[in-house]
Structure 1
Amino acid sequence: MSDTISGTVLSGVTLSSAQYADPVAIEGIIDVAGGNALVAPLTWTIDVTGTIAASDDGGVLLLAGGQIDNHGLVTAASDAVLSTSGRAFDIQNEASGTLASASGDAVKLSGGVTGSTLLNAGLISAGNAGIGLQIGAAVAINEAGGVIEGGSAGVVLGNVASFDNFGTVGGSTGILVPIGQNYVDIVQGGLVSASSGPAISFTGGAVMTVTDTLTVLPGATFDGAAIGGQVADLVFGGTTEGTFVNPTQEFVQFNTISIAAGATWDLAGISTISSSFRNDGTLLVQAGDAIDFGAAVSGSGVIDLAGGFVDFANTVAAGTTIDFNAPGSFMQFNQSHPFSGTVEGFTPGDTIDITGFGASQQLSGTVAGNVLTLNNGLAPLYVTFATAPGPLAVVAIGGTNPKTFEVVVPCFRHGTRLLTPSGLRPVETLSEGDEVITLRGEVRQIAWRGRRRIDCRRHPVPESVLPVLIEKDAFGVGQPCRDLYLSPDHAIWIDGSLVEIKRLINGLSIRQVTVPTVTYYHVELESHDVVLAEMLPAETYLDCGNRFQFEDGDATISLFPDFGALARDPGRLYAPVVDGGPDLARIRAGLQYRVASRGIRQKAGNFQVVADGKTVAPVWSADRHRIYRLPPAPCDLKLLSTASRPAELDPASEDWRWLGIAICDAVLDGDPVDIAAPFFGRGFHGPEHAGDGWFRWTDGTATMDAAGARELAFTVRAVAPVWDVPAPSCGVSVRHRA
């Protein structure tokens, strides 16, 4: 049995079994000037297709819970729908329904119990000081197309509340969880906007217990920040791929951040994640994107590096997989925190950096099976690969403080010719089964050839992938017989040893060149060997099970092993590797002797002070001391110079930093400048001490913060020498930094 209220009723209605049957349908109009429009003292089911209006008080008051199914209009001066009991309720606001309040809360369900629900597909709206929806101990869902808006807040959630948003929520604050409200779960898949406050705010108190959760789904939009208050966890969920740009600018103060199992998220832009991070799904890091993890990383998911950068400043637990899924991908971790994850897909063009070493520490590596062991003289470090990674290079990066080492993979470049029984043939024309001639004069078959194209412009450390040019006759007449290009970490054979070519760069006869892209070819024989590339002895590929990572075909390429000092299995090498010490210095000295025989000498570098793009001449100069008068207004002040790398000019040096000018005793308007002061801006290397005091080198282009000073003075400790190439030159220009 049911009942219907039709027509127009101008006084408040109180539902009682003596007058109305349950359920009751409101098909007409209840329009009340004073008091509540409709009161249900007992549990009732109310279907609204008409209008309920209260111009001075509340719309529908549930005193014992019940059910409301609204297709019509409920409007009130205060609360449009209010439930104050401890009884369960079930409220549905259909797509055609409106629940609106002029000055109170549109829907206030503070007396609910677990098991109560609200479903909104229509409009829930409150006035300037009101709340759209206030709910506790219940489940509320705002469907796609549903709108919940309030002047002070769109939604306010109390203890044990669950709110799923697939529609639109708006207010001064979008969604608010007040202080002391626990076990609140929010699923956000729609739009949450805030006119002046945060889009979502979990309010922490003096004692912060983490009990709340925000789950973000693909397609979610935030107009405003989401603040966790250190009492909530953030979860990226869903089953389709989601994208969020610069997430840590939007999501702050969350206790933990995670990606749920089965979820895939592209966290684009540049982000620093300071919270503990758990990944049980897939995290995509595309080219140009970077994520710094400041806390521990765990989980059973995959971090998919599609050309992007990740930095782990803390531990990485076992179960985490780092998949190098595109050339140019870059991973960094600190040696003081264990990296226990697994690396997949590591190929030429990819890079692993290990930071946190002391200035005098050295690092060497060996590969056994699928494990790279890194020895630093203290406790060894281990990097586990999903499959045997092949030969790897471990090399110190010059100019880094703390000291950083880099792990890369080595190969050969397109157009490079290998000696075969039929003469020199371009590597791209060779395939499995073709024959090459080795250093010993043996004829051997190619077991496999792989290829990988690299976009050097998008690589985070281009120097690790850009090809190295070896000029014709650099090692003697006919060695090579024409200009030869190798990847930086490919080893050549010289004096019975293998030496990576980047250790022999001198800036002249052997120098790194800039290209937009390069394709590296790997040529493998049945065992590691040395072949003749443009008649220069160079190593072949040493297979460790990673050939599946390359494709076969034609392209622009690099012919030799790739990037960094290789962590090769010594038992399988053709010859021992020389990576430093007197043997390397002797080989480099021989190369420099050949350079000197061409009439090339070293000369002093030069420098200038530039303010707002104009050279500033010193007003006083004596010996190594300079004084400059600066423009009256704050200016863009630079110290520019020629620059060179010590290791390119001195065979015994292992300093690969770009050095310009070293200065000390800086003074601004008569006041000494501390060696660590902000005056020393971008382009200055760290402070160094020798003999009589402290000084700092530039890299050739350094900025100085004069802080409005009118006079600058400093002492020139040294200016790095550069090569003096006589005309006609060999095509090499001295590097100027500007």
Structure 2
Amino acid sequence: MTTFALPNLTGRSIIGTSSTLRLGSVVGKQAVSLSDANVPVSDGGSGTSFDNRAPGLALNYIICVNGAFPNSGSDSGPVMGEIRAYAGSAASIPQGWVLANGTLLPIAQNQALFALLGTTYGGNGLTNFALPNLSDTVVAGSGGSQSFGKTYGSNTAILSVSDAACFCRGSRIRTARGDIPVEEIQIGDHIVAFDDDVTKGTIRQVTWVGQSRAVVRKRLPDDEAGYPVRLLKGAIAHDVPYKDMLITSEHCLFLDGRFVPVRMLVNGRSIFFDKSIESYDYYHVETENHSVIMADGVLTESYLDTGNRFAFKQNGPVVLMRQSRNLTWDDAAAPLEVSRHFVEPLFRSFQSRADRVKHTGRSQAPFLTHEDGLRLVTETGRLLHPIRRVKDRVMFKIPAGVRSVRILSNASRPCDVIGPFVDDRRMLGVLVGYIELFESDTMTTLISHLQDADLSGWNTIENGAMRWTNGSALLPLLSRSVRNTAIMALQIHSAGPYLASDSWSGLMRLKVEGSKSR
């Protein structure tokens, strides 16, 4: 009635508000009472684990979208891209600021901010870019262990598909008692392993079972989003599997003496990502040694503990305190095989079988383009188009005072352009070699892209002479005259082909077609 309180941040971390954390809510615990009922004695056994997160307070994170450009010399007012914690409600955010909640902004109306953020936080880099999403997060300074824009840690653990090679509910595992649903398998059960004898098998004891839940992240490519892969009955051979099989994309099938990730066999007909499923439970079954086991009549793998055990809840009674074993594929029952020369014949065989047995799924060859869409964007958001192309050199005119540019281009993944049997999921833009900058009567060779492993927008350095961009790659121009224009020559060793839907022209075509249909 007469007073109000300021937020008490003593000993607390600021956490961005979200749908689960309301403005001003206190999260975490400063102290916890332990008893034999809640001390975790195994990998997520029947006891309830305790919460020892640092206490926090939920506030709004806001970002300046209309302020002074960094290093502009202005010493008053907010700076574009600046992030602040704000104790007011979302409805009362000051002008020029917006919630830092991952919103997509159009590049055309926010060129200066795009020059700062690029696609660090998402967006296609052609028509839009994303603000950082600080909901449910704590801001930490970048440094030696945390790079700019990288999200690390979470108050919710979501296992990525690269970590999850699992069975979905209903998968039937071959045991000494017959085929049993995976969700009913318990520690101590005996399952049949086929790595020693693929015709008769041997009995092995289950040493651990785990369960977790997946939620699909639709903004990612299908193989990374978390969609389960469905193998239709008979996709591999007659009655193999003997019913539809659902597994995660990284789960391996045992084929011709090797383990092959099922994502590399997706043909859109008999083996496909089931997009009707957006969340699901999945399960692990482990034996003392990694084993070839059978699920739904298909030879596949047991759990290989590569360090993700603690993301799972253990089913059944607690029988042992088992630490993560951090195994590798050197400890597997058979070699992992992802080479194209081995996987493509399998892919073609299953694809042909789908045609013969008339599986009803649809598979279309992707529409491709060889247009690279190459252009530059300055730190103020100005687009620069090529002025000349001579063999493998592409020339641009660089305005006076520009200290850095981003190399923009179309970009696609080889696994999408060529086929899933190619185990290359990098987003590839253009392969850049030497870069020369001609200014006044001097020529400078720019080499930061060939030396700085952490330079934004570049793929891994493969050799000392060239490097792939990811479609939006930062290029510092070092110290330049503020008065003179310059000519930049980019050496492009390779570019494309690209998915037409990933290209600038493809996006524009979709935009036009979408406007006509409304």
TM-score (norm 2): 0.47
- Higher relative helix content: 2
Greater relative contact order structure (CA < 8 Å, 6+ sep): 2
TM-score (norm 1): 0.34
- Quick check: which has more Rg, 1 or 2? 1
- Higher relative strand content: 1
